[in-house]
Amino acid sequence: MGKPTGFMEFERELPEDRDPLERLKDFDEFHLHLSDETLRDQGGRCMDCGVPFCHTGTTLPVNSPLASGCPLNNLIPEWNDLIYRGLWQEALERLHQTNNFPEFTGRVCPAPCEGSCVLGINDPAVTIKNIEVSIIDRAWDEGWVVPQPPERRTGKTVAVVGSGPAGMSAAMQLNRAGHQVTVFERSDRIGGLLMYGIPNMKLDKSSVLRRVEQMEAEGVVFVTNTEVGTDISAQKMIDDYDAVVLCIGALKPRDLPVPGRDLQGIHQAIDFLHVNTKSLLDSKLADGNYISAKDKNVIVLGGADTGSGCVATSLRHDCKSVFQF
């Protein structure tokens, strides 16, 4: 425990965001970082609880979708303490023990860890999510994240179908265990919904690409534009590999069977976001290969993260108005 009285001395503090009117002019990330000194104080707010619910992922109640604590069992009190003591590389080591890609979760996770923080019973919770992303972003900036190829190979081959967060995590772990891993992705870029489902202002695609480059340096092979069942048969994969891991995600959207559903100008969120990000990466939207909301009155049905991504994208297209229901 870095500072026994830290939770009494320091208030919860989050970094400022970019000015809303300025960030509407681009698709860059809008969250900024705190100074090292402020992050140190925020780490010092952690009480190192006897029962740290933050890093114990549980489902409450049984068979309920409600969750409490970190599903990855991140060692949160440990790296909070290390940040307070200025031991950033040690904090990175603890973070990577349980999380292959903290730069993803540190940006888009809903942070059930903070919801179960014991300090949050009486005061604002510890800024766990912000500390997490600050550790990994600092690590990339300092060059601490380097390829870790296996010392020896097992001679076994594994095919991973799908390159979203599950597929990338499985591929990294299996490759580091010594197996030769090939990842098959039907899109033109690796990342699944990390690449084409989450808008760039929430998760800059450079964060995904640098992990792909790291994994390639470790020996993982990525094959894009290849759909299993069309471009390659499932039987061939079974014949050619010792094991096949299915990480195909859930891309089929739920429809709304109501009168007028077949009218023009009604789109599924996943289609709207996918083509926007692809056009943004291919040409910064210059090719026009996206669903434009410019000068249009937009209605978004759904209020969760995907809906907010559609709202933010529409605003950056310079829509006439946008309503979210």
Give the other-Cβ count within 10 Å of 43's Cβ. Answer: 28
Amino acid found at 219: G
Same fold, 6-142 and 157-246: no
Query: Cα angle vertex 99, ends 29, 131, to 5°?
Result: 50
Q: What is the pLDDT of residue 59?
A: 67
Q: CA 76 to CA 270: how far, in whole Å? A: 33
d(CA 191, CA 171): 12
Q: How far is CA 120 from CA 43, 66, 88, 114, in A?
A: 14, 18, 25, 8
SS3 assignment, position 207 = helix
Tell me which residue has tokens 């033109």: 188
pTM: 0.92
Task: Break the chain into its structural domains and give their ranges.
Answer: 6-142, 157-246, 269-324
Residues 214/176, Cβ–Cβ less than 8 Å:
no
Total residue length of the chain: 325
The confidence score (pLDDT) of residue 137 equals: 97
Torsion sign across C-alpha atoms 209, 211, 215, 220: negative
62 alpha-carbon distance from chain centroid: 26
Which residue(s) pair with 232 in the sheet? Answer: 228
Tell me how far apart the alpha carbons of residues 35 and 42 are, in angstroms, rounded to a whole number.
Answer: 11
Give me the pLDDT at residue 249, please.
Answer: 86
CATH topology of domain 6-142: Fumarate Reductase Iron-sulfur Protein; Chain B, domain 2 (1.10.1060)
Q: What are phi and psi of 94, to 5 degrees?
A: -65, -40
The tens place of each residue's pLDDT in the chain, 325 residues long, gives 678 899 999 999 999 999 999 999 999 999 999 999 999 999 999 998 888 889 887 766 666 666 679 999 999 999 999 999 999 999 999 999 999 999 999 999 999 999 999 999 999 999 999 999 999 999 999 999 999 999 999 999 999 999 999 999 999 999 999 999 999 999 999 999 999 999 999 999 999 999 999 999 999 999 999 999 999 999 999 999 999 999 998 888 989 999 999 999 999 999 999 999 999 999 999 999 999 999 999 999 998 999 999 999 999 999 999 999 9
Supply 233's token pair. Answer: 């048969």
Segment holding 159, helix H or strand E = strand 157-161
- Which backbone phi and psi does 50 adopt, to 5 degrees? -60, -35
Write the CB contacts of 235 (distance below 8 Å, at least 6 apart in sequence).
none
Q: Of 105, 125, 123, 106, give the one whose Cα is nearest residue 115.
A: 125
The answer as to CATH 3.40.190.10 being correct for domain 157-246 is no
